[in-house]
Chain A
Amino acid sequence: MDLHATHHPDLTIITVAEARIDAAAAIRFKDAMRAATATGAGHVVLDLGNVTFVDSSGLGAIVAAMKQMGSERRLDLACLTPDVAKVFRLTRMESVFTIHDDLRRLHSRATG
């Protein structure tokens, strides 16, 4: 799974470069997230702007990625496309994550 991490002092932004987090990608996504969050800031934002499709396996993998970071750290989501936002809304998992509409405000905060 192709993930791009951008490290700021207090914030790591991880951008998913692939279009689908589905059953075929769920385990690779979780493993890549473990590697991408092994170092870096305690606050991680997962940028899903390129992701057009998440099924329940992908949703489970995103939840698992948050849980495997440990309770001291935080995983937010950003830039949900319409079909992806719908999965989070219907399963009520939108209430579990802080969801940012865009990255601009986060960037300006991260760079001071």
Chain B
Amino acid sequence: MVIPDTPPQHLDLTTVASDLAVRDLLTRTRDWLRAHALPDETCGTVELVLAEALNNIVEHAYPPDAPGAIRLALQHGPTHLVCILSDHGTALPGGVLPDGTLPDHDVARDALPEGGFGWFLIRDLTDRLDYRRDAGWSHLTLEFRLPAL
């Protein structure tokens, strides 16, 4: 009997916050998702949401001259993919998840939004979100329902 090579159910990555470190984490995550034979659309959704959450940590949790640790833990379950992003930088304002209202696009060209899409995309594309602060660390849990095989 041939036992197929199955990729590990967990992926645990740690890095120091920077734009290029985000790219590296996303590339390694996408490779791992592909190894689990997830559809391209799901891989793209997860990559986009993690990019937005990671960019927020790089931009807002740590000062540019003192970047700190980011940990990304992924768990591939039977029905869901669970991602936990942790950092020990500044907490989210008020300790709560931002609303993520979509900026108005029906405006004059000069007034078109150049940002403010991140939390909208995170909220729109996840099936469950949770944020908690514990002992100086922020933990953001992002869950994605996986398409039935």
Contact = CB atoms under 8 A, between A and B. Distances in A.
Interface of A: 20, 22-24, 53, 55-57, 59-61, 63-64, 66-67, 71, 82-83, 86-87, 90-93, 95-96
Contacts of A59: 117
Q: Is the interface of B mostly helix, strand, loop or mixed?
A: helix
Contact of B121 (A56, A61, A64, A96): A56
Contact of B40 (A56, A82, A91): A82
A23 B22 contact: yes
Contacts, number: 76
A24 B27 CA distance: 14
17 contacts: A22-B51, A23-B19, A23-B51, A55-B48, A56-B118, A60-B113, A67-B109, A82-B40, A82-B44, A86-B48, A87-B48, A90-B120, A90-B121, A91-B105, A92-B102, A92-B105, A95-B106
Interface band, chain B: 20 to 34
Contacts of B118: 56
B50 to A, nearest CB: 10
| Residue in A24, A82, A87 with the greatest tally of chain B CB atoms within 10 Å | A24
Contacts of A23: 19, 22, 51, 55, 58-59
Interface string B83-126: 00000000000000000001001100110111111101100110
A95 B110 CA distance: 15
Contacts of A66: 109, 112
B141 to A, nearest CB: 20
B44 A56 contact: no
A66 B121 CA distance: 22
Nearest to B110: A67
Interface in B29-58: 40-41, 44-45, 47-48, 51-52, 55, 58
B19 A93 contact: no
Contacts of B51: 22-23, 53, 55
B128 interface: no
